[in-house]
Structure 1
Amino acid sequence: MMDTSSARYDLEGAAQSALVRLATEYNQRAAGRIIHALQRRHASGVFGGDYEHKSLWDELCHDAQSGPHFDDQEPWDSILDALLQKEVERLTAAEFEALWLAALPDVDDLTTAPRDAGVIIEEFRSALLQRAGERSLERFEVW
């Protein structure tokens, strides 16, 4: 017979680990939906004839890997901010809370702190830019 007092479970650690895994999954899903939206928009041509980019996703990947190319990132921000906000709006209240907590916001008291969507947006943006930075762009180079 096993002594139950010696079998201890770290419920807090397990819950935090599960929350982080859940947030990672949601971040990747949001990034995937944003990538799909960017792939459906034609390239702006901002990089000229040096590259054969077909979509805004191609251009974002290029900018993420070898940029930023422009002093003013406003065009990217205006496009991405709208898509990121749309992803936050898709979340249920429970999903929002879980993602906000998983982001480990810098607050004094988790129970009374206002739930800032900006924290989640930055997590989604980070996942998107990570995928943009990892994508191979060799096929777009014109030699």
Structure 2
Amino acid sequence: MMAGSSARYDLESAAQSALFRLAAEYNQRAAGRLIHALQRRHASGVYGGDYEHKSIWDELCHDAQSGPHFHDHDPWDSILEALLQKEVERLTAAEFEALWLAAIPDVDDLTTALRDAGVIKEEFRSALLQRAGERNLERFEVW
């Protein structure tokens, strides 16, 4: 033991912190890939001529910032589900486990808890919607 060193390194706390940072980084990378995919899809025109949206990404940003506009059926669900599933399928088993562990709420027993991909999809979706909410959309408004 080193003299003057009274602080003990807490491996569990450090590992948990690293896991959360890794998950946040991966969620942002997934959001970037989702944005790229949405930018490549032409706008649906769901908002009419009031806005000059060029892509589905533009429309999703609009909805995130001034919506939601849809009550019965959210068209974003059907568009995003396939993209989110593709992102989950890209994960290795170790990446899946790490992201799931970082995202799950409290469970009674980690060894028997269901590894639900929906939890990871929701984290990816949250990261995507956060970026959609932060985007400047002034250039799309028609006045």
Task: Report TM bin, short chain.
Answer: over 0.9
Stretch deviating more after TM superposition (90-99 or 74-83): 74-83
Equivalent AA in structure 1 for residue 85 of structure 2: Q
SS in 2 for 1:96: helix
Q: How does 1:1-143 map to 2 (within 5 A)?
A: 2-3=2-3, 6-143=6-143
Q: Deviations over 1:46-82 (max 9, x none)?
A: 0000000000000000000000111134321010011
Question: Aligned with 2:2: secondary structure?
Answer: coil
Instruction: Identify the range of structure 1 (106-115 vs 18-27) with the bigger mean alpha-carbon deviation.
Output: 106-115
Number of equivalent positions: 143
What is the TM-score of this pair, normalised by structure 1?
0.95
Q: Are the structure 2 counterparts of residues 114 and 4 from structure 1 closer, same or farther at C-alpha, using a change threshold of 3 Å?
A: farther
Q: Residue 83 of structure 1 aligns to which amino acid in structure 2?
A: L
Kindly indicate whether the alpha-carbon contact (under 8 Å) linking 1:105 and 1:119 is maintained by their aligned counterparts in 2. no
Amino acid in the other structure paired with 1:108: D
Measured at CA, do residues 100 and 4 of structure 1 come closer, stay the same or move farther in structure 2, by a change above 3 Å? farther
Q: Identify unmatched segments of 5+ residues in structure 1.
A: none
Percent of aligned positions that are identical: 89
Cα deviations by residue, 1:72-107 (Å, 9 ceiling, x for unpaired): 343210100110010000000000000000013332
Question: Deviating runs (4+, > 6 A) in structure 1?
Answer: none
Q: Which amino acid in 2 is paired with 1:87?
A: E
Amino acid in structure 1 at the alignment position of 2:35: I
When normalised by structure 2's length, the TM-score is: 0.95
